[in-house]
Amino acid sequence: MKNFLKSLTFLVLWLVWQDVFSVMEIEITEGVEGAHPIAIAAFSGDTYIEPGAVESIVRSNLWRSGLFNVLEPQHFPQVVTDPSRLHFQLWREAGVESLLIGTITRAAEDQYRIEFRLYDLVRQKRLSGHVISSVSSKDVRKVGHKISDMVFESLTGIRGSFSTHIVYVRAVRNSPDTKYELRVADFDGHNARTVFSSATQLMSPTWSPDGTRLAYVSFEGGNSAIYVQDVVKGTRFRVSAQTGMNSAPAWSPDGRYLALTLSIEGSSDIYLMDTQTRRLRRITSGLASDTAIDTEACWMPDSKALLFTSDRSDGTQVYRVSVRDRKVERITFQGKYNAAPDVSPDGRYVAMVHNGGNGFRIAVMDLKSGAMRVLTDGNMDEGPSYAPNGKMIIYATLKHGREVLAAVSSNGRARQQLQAAGGNVRAPDWSSFHD
Amino acid sequence: MAKKMLFSMLLTGVLMILGACGTHTEQMLENPDIASVPDGAEGSATKQDGSETSGIGGEDGLSIGVLDEQDSAAGSASDSGTASFADLGNVIYFEYNSSEIRDEFLPLIIRIAKKLEENSTMKVRLEGHADERGTREYNLALGERRAREVRNLIILQGVRDKQVDIVSYGEEKPAVTGSGEEFWQQNRRVELVH
């Protein structure tokens, strides 16, 4: 009996532990093949700040990108603190190609200096060495992301997007009312803050290309209307409150135009608004006989065309329209439901919500070949948004009936639910690079 | 005006045919999920609607274009015109990813139109909604199209443009929360707000 109780306690503890840690668990859905094997050693002196804080951020970030295989510390062939005692042969035998070593020293009260060095274990040489000074304990996450960016870029040649931000909508139910919040956070969901709060629905937040403004839909006037808010100053303007629907804002790459979905001429069509003159130009068909839904515009990086969702024929599909001559071309042909396109920053791929009969999932299509790949396995996945380097996609999903955000690497290899404190979280948009 | 009259007569004709095959409506009434809607909004809409159509359907062997039948339908429509507006029932339901008005809701829409036509200062708002499947922005457009379809039909009956406003909430304001057809079918709707 005693033993039984003991194992029961153990089981309960284990379950609690599982519950606490499952939030941050990164699911690796494919083998390690093609992923760069790296080890992130414990930063010596980390007890000054928070043991393991910096390196665990770097580890998680590299995992999430889907491009790295990060060796767990318990599998390290050698405890490394002093780079001069690095036993290259041992590490190579363990299959590790790169190693990050860091040191934290205390300069003054809550002022730290962080040094880190990246080693190429195959060529047995140091690739880079950096120092970040005047770090206070509240900067830990920022520094962790900065180091991740530098490691990522020096090993892949691609700029890291770990220091960029996301915006999303959070609905907090406080019976009988629901409060809607516009939240800005680090890409991983940490350091979230509310930039706008409302008793009515909020939808479709999207970053301006320079990262200073947000455009979104608010129902505060009873109907949908589009607002632009300065993230730094907090000022906000209503930019579209046409009769009918005002939906799905999308900034042009130069930040001058907003593509919108309006129904002023009856059916739901895409318009371009010049944000300086407020002049509107219809981009999709507005024929009197047209009842098709055209919405969810997304700009191609060259600004010459938009992708959008339409149900004009054969289910709901993604189309491309040329801005100059408004010529429309269908681009998706698999499944009955393809919607909410988001083009990769290099313009080669499009992420979308795809339903091929197994539920709404996030898929990526190669625009050149038309090859489609489903990246998620949810039932109600939606709102895909590319990271500015195109290597990850953030989206909204359901977990135990609750709306949460998740990130998937663009190669589909790594998937992770993001940190979020309560409520239903949805409609994520990933910012561009901004310094 | 002549055009509108003609359309109205056509619609009434459609009602007749509907009445003749009332099984569809009866199935809806028997659906336990619908009957248990807590706020009663859907229940009353369906019931109102159901009893109306099955009443006509009771007269077996009705066929297209029998003028007597048209008269009786028009009579019942104007009867409800004198009733209080709330008694009409106020929700119209749709199929998944569709904004086509289902036959069983035509009598309700005609009665709403009649009421508005008789009270030209009366205004209503049609609120379009969608279930949670599909993207939020697409569903906002779908809710809008549903409300617009209902509005177009009401306007065609001779109601003035200004009397009917529409707004879409997409999937943002579900009538019931939950996943599965029993919830979804209650959320794909246009609500009449007076």
Distances (CA, A) of B95 to A295, A355, B92, B188: 21, 18, 11, 7
Query: With left for phi above 0 and alpha for psi between -120 and 50, is residue A390 left, alpha or beta?
Result: left
User: Does residue A8 carry a pLDDT above 70?
Assistant: no
A434 band by pLDDT with thresholds 50, 70 and 90: confident
Cα(A428)–Cα(B4) distance, rounded to whole angstroms? 47
Q: Token pair for residue A315?
A: 């289910």
Cα(A89)–Cα(A421) distance, rounded to whole angstroms? 45
The label of the residue with tokens 């803050």 reads: A193
CB contact under 8 A, B167 and A222: yes
Q: Considering chain B, what is the average pLDDT of its residues?
A: 70
CB contact under 8 A, B137 and A219: no
Cα(A339)–Cα(A335) distance, rounded to whole angstroms? 11
Count of beta carbons in the 10 Å neighbourhood of residue B152 = 14
Quick check: A161 contacting B, CB < 8 Å?
A: no
Residue A146 β-bridge partners = none
B75 band by pLDDT with thresholds 50, 70 and 90: very low
Tell me how far apart the terminal alpha carbons of chain A are, to the nearest angstrom. 62
Q: What was the pLDDT predicted at A281?
A: 96
DSSP character at residue B55: H
Distances (CA, A) of A396 to A162, A187, A353, A382, B130: 19, 14, 11, 5, 18
- The answer to whether the beta carbons of residues A215 and A249 sit under 8 Å apart is yes
Q: Considering chain A, what is the average pLDDT of its residues?
A: 90
B23 band by pLDDT with thresholds 50, 70 and 90: very low
pLDDT tens digits, one per residue of A377-397: 999 999 999 999 999 999 999
What b-and-e string marks burial along A324-354, b requiring 16 or more CB atoms within 10 Å of the CB?
eeeebeebbeebebbbbbbbbbeeebbbbbb
Mean pLDDT of B104-111: 94
Q: What was the pLDDT predicted at B163?
A: 97
Cα(A283)–Cα(B161) distance, rounded to whole angstroms? 27
What is the chain B residue with the closest CA to A260? B137
Cα(A68)–Cα(A51) distance, rounded to whole angstroms? 23
Chain B residues with CB under 8 Å of a chain A CB are 97, 99, 132-138, 140-142, 144-145, 148, 166-170, 172-173, 179
User: Does residue B52 carry a pLDDT above 50?
Assistant: no
Which of B135, B140, B173 faces A245 most closely, judged by CB atoms?
A: B140
Cα(A125)–Cα(A102) distance, rounded to whole angstroms? 16
Q: Token pair for residue A333?
A: 């042909």
CB contact under 8 A, B169 and A268: no
A84 band by pLDDT with thresholds 50, 70 and 90: confident
By residue count, chain B amounts to 194
CA distance A11 to chain B (A): 32
CB contact under 8 A, A427 and B136: yes
- The answer to whether the beta carbons of residues A241 and A221 sit under 8 Å apart is yes
Q: What was the pLDDT predicted at B22?
A: 37
CB contacts of A379 in chain B (<8 Å) are 179
What is the chain A residue with the closest CA to B151? A266
Cα(A290)–Cα(B139) distance, rounded to whole angstroms? 18
A28 band by pLDDT with thresholds 50, 70 and 90: confident
Q: Which of A293, A312, A352 to mutate to test the interface with B (most CBs of B within 10 A)?
A: A293
Q: What was the pLDDT predicted at B108?
A: 94
CA distance B138 to chain A (A): 6
Total CB pairs under 8 A between chain A and B: 81
Per-residue DSSP letters for B98-158?
A: --PPPGGGHHHHHHHHHHHHH-TT--EEEEEE--SSS-HHHHHHHHHHHHHHHHHHHHHTT
Local structure of A208: helix, strand or coil: coil
- The answer to whether the beta carbons of residues B16 and B64 sit under 8 Å apart is yes
Burial bucket for residue A89 (CB in 10 Å: 0-12, 13-18, 19+): exposed
Q: What is the CA radius of gyration of chain A?
A: 24
- The answer to whether the beta carbons of residues A170 and A425 sit under 8 Å apart is yes
What b-and-e string marks burial along A230-245, b requiring 16 or more CB atoms within 10 Å of the CB?
ebeeeebeebbebebb
Comparing A336 with A10, the larger pLDDT belongs to A336
User: Does residue A11 carry a pLDDT above 80?
Assistant: no
Residue A102 β-bridge partners = A116
Cα(A356)–Cα(A336) distance, rounded to whole angstroms? 7
User: Does residue B38 carry a pLDDT above 70?
Assistant: no
Q: State yes or no: cis peptide before A73, omega within 30 of 0.
A: no
CB contact under 8 A, B138 and A245: no
Q: What angle do CA A312, A314, A317 make, to 5 degrees?
A: 70
pLDDT tens digits, one per residue of A174-216: 888 999 999 999 999 999 999 999 999 999 999 999 999 999 9
Report how far Cα A119 is from the mean position of its chain's Cα atoms: 29
Q: What was the pLDDT predicted at B40?
A: 32
User: Does residue A415 carry a pLDDT above 50?
Assistant: yes
Please name the residues in contact with A254: beta carbons below 8 A apart, sequence gap of 6 or more: A209, A303
User: Using CB atoms and an 8 Å cut-off, which of residues 168-207 of chain A contact chain B?
Assistant: 201, 203-204
Q: What was the pLDDT predicted at B70?
A: 37
Inter-helix orientation angle B106-118/B41-57, to 10°: 100
Which of B132, B135, B148 faces A353 most closely, judged by CB atoms?
A: B135
User: Does residue A19 carry a pLDDT above 70?
Assistant: no
Mean pLDDT of B119-130: 96
Comparing A131 with A9, the larger pLDDT belongs to A131
Local structure of A425: helix, strand or coil: strand
CB contact under 8 A, A245 and B144: yes
Q: What was the pLDDT predicted at A237?
A: 96
**Predicted structure pTM score:** 0.83
CA distance A21 to chain B (A): 27
Local structure of A113: helix, strand or coil: strand
B71 band by pLDDT with thresholds 50, 70 and 90: very low
pLDDT exceeding 70 applies to what percent of chain A? 91
Residue among A177, A50, A63, A2 at smallest CA distance from A415:
A63
Strand order from edge to edge, sheet including A98-108 = A68-71, A36-40, A98-108, A111-120, A125-135
Q: What was the pLDDT predicted at A286?
A: 63
